[in-house]
Amino acid sequence: MVPQTSQTAVQTQSVALPHSASAVVQALFAMMLGVFVLGFVGFSQIDSIHNAAHDTRHSSAFPCH
């Protein structure tokens, strides 16, 4: 005898944003991520986090000093 599994349907609702609103939201999230990376990681007093960001800048050929 094979046990039967019940499947439940999950309905999700999505909100369609106009193209311009979507672009604005994406730009805001990108700016917030940039501020986080520069503000927290770049100026972190924790050596391992700062060194990881420093090594990443060097590996992507971004001048940092």
Share of the chain above pLDDT 90, in %: 12
The residue among 60 and 36 whose pLDDT is bigger is 36
Tell me what pLDDT residue 4 has.
63
Q: What pLDDT, on the 0 to 100 scale, is given for residue 35?
A: 83
Tens of pLDDT along 18-48? 667 788 899 999 999 888 877 777 677 788 8
Higher pLDDT, 32 or 60: 32
Please answer whether residues 23 and 29 qualify as being in contact, where contact means their C-beta atoms are separated by less than 8 angstroms: no
Q: Which residues 6+ apart lie within 8 Å of 25 measured at CB?
A: 17
Quote the tokens at residue 65.
Answer: 């000093």
